[in-house]
Amino acid sequence: NKTHGRNLRRATPIIWMAWFGSSFGLSSFGVFLPKFMSSKNIHISSVYGDALILAIASFPGPFIGAYLVETHRFGRRYTMTISGFCISLCILLFIFLENEIGLVSLACLISLLTQVWYAGLMCFTPEAYPTDIRTTA
């Protein structure tokens, strides 16, 4: 079908950029978080303890994302749009904040919103393609 080809040529690079950008950007945030905190004179006492805090904070994210992608008010696209905008805003605030409680709170919120973003992206990706080619890999 000609319309499938034209739409897929436009949708596929956009989806690839969303996956690459979120995987690279959000993973880099987690990797460089200790270095960034130490640059603000906040010394992390336990890397494992902080990882546990971020993991606990992000735990409800997939459930919130699963709920939002199925609502008529948000759906897949608005869930990704709103969570992506909120992640960007939190990272911008994170750069300028100086106190430890604020930085840890924002890092937890970013972890939570990341899971909401991925829930939307994981639902949106296969549905962007026609049923006859979804499982052809």
pLDDT per residue as tens digits for the range 50-82:
778 888 999 999 999 999 999 989 988 899 999
CA 104 from centre of chain: 17
At what angle are helices 47-58 and 100-127 packed, to 10 degrees? 50
| Tens-place pLDDT, residues 32-47 | 887 887 787 776 666 6
| Residue 87: predicted pLDDT | 94
CA 112 from centre of chain: 8
Matching residue, tokens 């960007």: 88
| Residue 46: predicted pLDDT | 67
| Residue 99: predicted pLDDT | 86
| Residue 86: predicted pLDDT | 96
The whole-angstrom separation of Cα 27 and Cα 17 is 15
| Residue 35: predicted pLDDT | 80
Residue of 121 and 134 predicted with greater confidence: 121
- Give residues with Cβ within 8 angstroms of 113, minimum separation 6: 61, 83, 86, 87, 90
